[in-house]
Structure 1
């Protein structure tokens, strides 16, 4: 009996040590990362998360936010890969995490991360100048069916990224053929709205929150936005489904740990973020920024990412923009 105890005791001690370590997590400051510059959607989201977690007392350690811009999120993805197994790094991402891999910008992908939770969604919208001859989405679709290149569509993102793919998805669902011929123009200098207002662009595809000021002033009309159902604060603007095209496009945002993040850390962040999304403070943050609640826990988020990756892959392939081509 004593001999058995001799071998069991170290194992029991090790077990208690692991439990204590898990119970004490996190014991060091976290490194929260926005993979882009200050002020954008990624930066705003992760700073809001850090503030709510701190204000509610759900997380006691400091959560300073670091900006790591470059490569559409690829620079940070490379950094996270170098820090695999870390339990102190949490980053925010959205569809470009998938697109930069599919387009060949980086060999790394969402599979080089640990999905923790999808938190919110914003939506794309399609706007025209107030005096545009296109009165509704159907007018645009009819013009595209006759000649896919006859309508100029602009966006801030690069060709093959969100502003482009959102419109492609809607056009394809509406029966437009030859989507490779769609006349998409990328204005990565941020001048797309000015181009629309100046009459140099027929349609602007961009995040709906970026259009609300000009919509309120009456300078533009929003034909539809890509939410699966009406969103509070968007009254008077039809969803694409309401406009007759049964398709959605989510500009989701979620949090990710490094690849092979320790299980104790993964469990902690999944549990903590699940509690955070139920707080009044988080509801207030969502209302402030016009974000729609689209929470998914880690395993469901991972399934969503797999499905989205296949959908984006199909669209890029049809556009001739898939890296494998």
Structure 2
């Protein structure tokens, strides 16, 4: 009997040690489950958000100088997210200017896989690739949401010789070098292309001879007021304060309808002026390439909530923006279509890269 008891105790001890060994080696249990492999083409980051994400400050980026349309958009997003309590971590804005957004796009590649970096972009993200300024494109980012549509405006200083858009176009028809056009984006990008689209529809030829000067440091409005250029092509919201103060006079804007209220709502469209063309300056937010899925899901939900707030709706009105919200999937599809559309425009005016 004693030998049988001892033998049973030894057997129990051996079984216990085997079980402990199996657990420590990761082979315990009868389910046979294995650690999940990351899906093809996806980040190896966890699929679900950490319980404390975001746990640290986010870096919000405007790829141009302070005071521009990109800057206004992303600062408005950060302010409203904090004012409404939707996001509690700090969201300071960095202005990383240069190359019509290309400098920041290159930097975003160094942030691949990060979950704390978001930039704002608009048509130049596509145009600087199509015009050959950079080999990078929207495909080297993670689209999060399209938020708004702004529109281009063509404006002059108080003492300008031009009182309407027709006078500008007639001057260009007579001599393409007679009007110096300024913008914030690089040559071949949005401010430049938007003006050329309208000029082409107005019957201006030799579009490539028009003098376009880019002021990516945010000084374009002061250059216009100082008489160093004749006309400024930029977004309505970017210079709304100077328009309302009367320092700048808008000759026409590219929306299909009038936008905004007060002085802004009085600006005629190009269509009203007999030039049957429009240009939409959409803006949206992008993460770096390979942004973790949990971060994409989090910001998609956050932005979807933000656009329903009273604060965001008020910002749309005050800035003359049209609501153009699309979620991440819809935004990606839109970008694919827009890219093909811009390709045709650049090809038509001889600025598509080989």
TM-score by length of 1: 0.81
**CA deviation profile, 1:41-69 (whole Å, cap 9, x unmatched):** 32332222122112222224443333433
Quick one: which of 71, 83, 89 aligns to 2:111? 83
How many residues of Structure 1 are paired with residues of Structure 2 in the alignment? Answer: 317
Q: Write the distance in 1 (CA, Å) between the matches of 2:168 and 2:120.
A: 35
The reply to whether residue 99 of structure 1 matches residue 123 of structure 2 is no
The reply to whether residue 6 of structure 1 matches residue 30 of structure 2 is yes
Q: Write the distance in 1 (CA, Å) between the matches of 2:94 and 2:223.
A: 33
- Name the structure 1 match of 2:208: 180
Does the Cα contact within 8 Å between 2:149 and 2:324 map onto a contact in 1? yes
Q: Give matches, 1:54-65, under 5 Å.
A: 54-65=82-93
- Name the structure 2 match of 1:163: 191
Of the structure 1 ranges 178-187 and 242-251, higher mean CA displacement relative to structure 2 is found in: 178-187
**CA deviation profile, 1:12-44 (whole Å, cap 9, x unmatched):** 9x9xxx67x437362422332233344433233
- Name the structure 2 match of 1:154: 181
Q: Looking at CA atoms only, which structure, 1 or 2, has the larger radius of gyration?
A: 2
The reply to whether residue 73 of structure 1 matches residue 97 of structure 2 is no
Q: Write the distance in 2 (CA, Å) between the matches of 1:192 and 1:110.
A: 26
Does the Cα contact within 8 Å between 1:101 and 1:107 map onto a contact in 2? yes
How large is the RMSD of aligned CA atoms in angstroms? Answer: 3.4
- Name the structure 2 match of 1:306: 336
Quick one: which of 19, 22, 33 aligns to 2:49? 22
Q: Taking structure 1 as reference, are residues 71 and 180 closer, same or farther at Cα in structure 2, changes over 3 Å only?
A: closer
Q: Write the distance in 2 (CA, Å) between the matches of 1:189 and 1:272.
A: 31
Q: Write the distance in 2 (CA, Å) between the matches of 1:236 and 1:50.
A: 30
Does the Cα contact within 8 Å between 1:95 and 1:162 map onto a contact in 2? yes
Of the structure 1 ranges 29-38 and 247-256, higher mean CA displacement relative to structure 2 is found in: 29-38
- Name the structure 2 match of 1:120: 148
Q: Write the distance in 2 (CA, Å) between the matches of 1:132 and 1:38.
A: 26
Q: Write the distance in 2 (CA, Å) between the matches of 1:191 and 1:22.
A: 41
- Name the structure 2 match of 1:228: 256
- Name the structure 1 match of 2:7: none
- Name the structure 2 match of 1:271: 301
Deviation for aligned residue 1:265? 2.5
- Name the structure 2 match of 1:294: 324
Quick one: which of 283, 287, 291 aligns to 2:313? 283
> Which runs of no fewer than 5 residues in structure 2 stay unpaired?
1-28, 39-45
- Name the structure 2 match of 1:33: 61
Q: Write the distance in 2 (CA, Å) between the matches of 1:189 and 1:268.
A: 33
Does the Cα contact within 8 Å between 1:33 and 1:68 map onto a contact in 2? yes
Task: List, as ranges, runs of 4+ consecutive aligned residues in structure 1 with deviation greater than 6 Å.
Answer: none
Deviation for aligned residue 1:134? 4.3
Does the Cα contact within 8 Å between 1:116 and 1:266 map onto a contact in 2? yes
Q: Write the distance in 2 (CA, Å) between the matches of 1:170 and 1:59.
A: 41
Q: Write the distance in 1 (CA, Å) between the matches of 2:161 and 2:94.
A: 45
